[in-house]
């Protein structure tokens, strides 16, 4: 089988999705399956739907379109605040979108009306991570503005933490979001369908809180795919952390020195490299490189060391393993590595354990 390839274990992904759905569901929190890291892959999207997730979310319209055109039976949510020039495709392909700019919601309203549909929005509130979101003091006025728009339904409020600023979604932040939801409902006499508290980083809050308050939804990506929470990247008990594997192949294997010889200048990426002297070692070169994967996010499953990489090569110290040309080497991937592999056209995508 050709390499490099990513093997995606559909059984393990499904198990993780079901387990998380039940766990969060036990305290009344629904889970939206986030598909951006897998680029809206229809086979995985189908597995999420079969595991009980009836809303799928992606940051890109192109991925939502891919899933819709594959016939995935779910509601679709656009995670990234709409790009203004794509407003028409947003109402066309997404049922719900996360928003933080009233001018953009106005534009969605215009296209919803001309297409004769109602588009739902969730207003994002800034709680300190400093990526997207309205300042809480602007929420009430924005809600007022949204409610005056035709073709738009305010479906909820939400927040996103631990993405840009690394800020923890703790008890205080979740209580505050709950209180904002309560205020809006009271002030405007409405019921919010979603109070969406965050992402895979909300696990430790969820496990420790005695009262989830008004939080009734989370949007999960990484914990489904990689089986970990995202504040400390600790495995979540009962989940698989090895649903994805990157497989590459040895294209050269020779005993060579561990330190380059000659006058040291810049490498392929403009850095001046430094190397540790390990004496003579078995250097195995793999037919995979930075054009395929974010190499710093790879962990070999066997006892070999990654010495470095260029666009098309990874260089290993094979240590005690007698790697031969044509042998396969298997890696675990972190989120960044998975994102790069799924996005690279050079990596073959293979499903395993697909019932």
Among 160, 216, 217, 332, binds ligand PLP (CB under 6 A): 160
CB-based closest residue to ligand PLP: 221
CA distances, 148 to each of 76, 118, 143, 173 (Å)? 24, 14, 9, 29
Q: Rank residues 3 and 16 by Cβ distance to ligand PLP and give the closer one.
A: 16
Handedness of CA 270, 276, 280, 281 (dihedral sign): negative
Residues 48-77, one symbol each (x = binds ligand PLP by CB under 6 A, - = not), give -----------x------------------
Residue 221 as a binder of ligand PLP (CB under 6 A): the answer is yes
Asked whether position 230 contacts ligand PLP by CB under 6 A, the answer is: yes
Q: If binding is defined by CB under 6 A, does position 34 make contact with ligand PLP?
A: yes
CA–CA gap between residue 9 and residue 345 (Å, rounded): 20
Is the distance from CB of 46 to CB of 347 less than 8 angstroms?
no
Nearer to ligand PLP, 197 or 289 (CB): 197
* 178 belongs to the binding site for ligand PLP (CB under 6 A): no
* Residue (5 or 173) nearer to ligand PLP, CB: 173
Residue of 222, 229, 249, 292 that binds ligand PLP (CB under 6 A): 222
Closer to ligand PLP at the Cβ: 4 or 156? Answer: 156
Catalytic residue among 36, 50, 349, 350: 36
The answer to the question of residue 200 lying near ligand PLP (CB under 6 A) is yes
Give the whole-angstrom CA distance, residue 218 versus residue 159: 10
79 near ligand PLP, rule: CB under 6 A: yes
The span from the CA of 212 to the CA of 175, in Å, is 8
Report helix angle 136-147 to 171-188, nearest 10. Answer: 30
Interacting span for ligand PLP (CB under 6 A) from 143-151, 222-230, 259-267, 280-288: 222-230
Residue 220 near ligand PLP by CB under 6 A: yes
Separation between Cα atoms, residue 202 and residue 208, nearest integer Å: 10
For residue 236, give Cα distances in angstroms to 2, 38, 228, 291: 33, 20, 5, 31
Indicate if 36 belongs to the active site.
yes
Which stretch of DSSP H or E encloses residue 86? none
Tokens found for residue 313: 């090569």
Residue (125 or 316) nearer to ligand PLP, CB: 125
Element (H, E) at 57: strand 55-58
Active site residues: 36
Residues that bind ligand PLP (CB under 6 A): 34, 36, 59, 79, 98, 160, 199-200, 219-223, 230
């Amino acid at each position: 089988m050709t390499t490099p390839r990513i093997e995606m274990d559909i059984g393990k992904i499904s198990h993780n999705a079901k387990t998380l759905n039940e766990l969060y569901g036990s305290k009344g929190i629904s889970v939206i399956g986030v598909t951006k890291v897998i680029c809206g892959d229809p086979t995985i999207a189908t597995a999420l739907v079969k595991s009980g997730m009836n809303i799928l979310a992606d940051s890109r319209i192109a991925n939502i379109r891919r899933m819709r055109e594959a016939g995935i039976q779910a509601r679709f949510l656009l995670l990234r605040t709409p790009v203004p020039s794509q407003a028409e495709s947003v109402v066309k392909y997404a049922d719900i979108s996360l928003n933080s700019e009233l001018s953009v919601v106005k534009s969605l309203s215009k296209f919803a009306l001309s297409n004769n549909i109602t588009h739902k929005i969730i207003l994002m509130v800034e709680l300190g991570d400093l990526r997207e979101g309205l300042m809480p003091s602007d929420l009430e006025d924005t809600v007022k503005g949204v409610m005056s728009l035709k073709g738009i339904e305010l479906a909820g409020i939400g927040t996103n933490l631990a993405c840009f600023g690394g800020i923890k979604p703790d008890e205080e932040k979740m209580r505050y979001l709950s209180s904002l939801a309560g205020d809006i409902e009271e002030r405007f006499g409405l019921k919010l369908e979603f109070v969406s508290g965050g992402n895979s980083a909300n696990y430790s809050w969820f496990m420790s809180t005695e009262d989830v308050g008004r939080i009734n939804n989370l949007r999960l990506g990484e914990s489904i795919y990689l089986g970990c929470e995202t504040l400390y990247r600790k495995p979540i008990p009962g989940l698989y952390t090895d649903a994805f594997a990157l497989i590459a192949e040895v294209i050269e294997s020779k005993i060579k020195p561990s330190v380059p010889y000659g006058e040291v200048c810049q490498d392929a990426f403009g850095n001046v490299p430094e190397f540790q002297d390990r004496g003579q070692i078995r250097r195995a070169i793999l037919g995979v490189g930075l054009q395929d994967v974010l190499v710093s996010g790879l962990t070999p499953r066997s006892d070999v060391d990654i010495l470095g990489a260029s666009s098309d090569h990874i260089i290993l110290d094979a240590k005690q393993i007698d790697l031969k040309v044509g042998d396969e080497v298997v890696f675990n991937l972190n989120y960044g590595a998975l994102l790069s592999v799924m996005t690279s056209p050079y990596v073959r995508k293979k499903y395993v354990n697909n019932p």
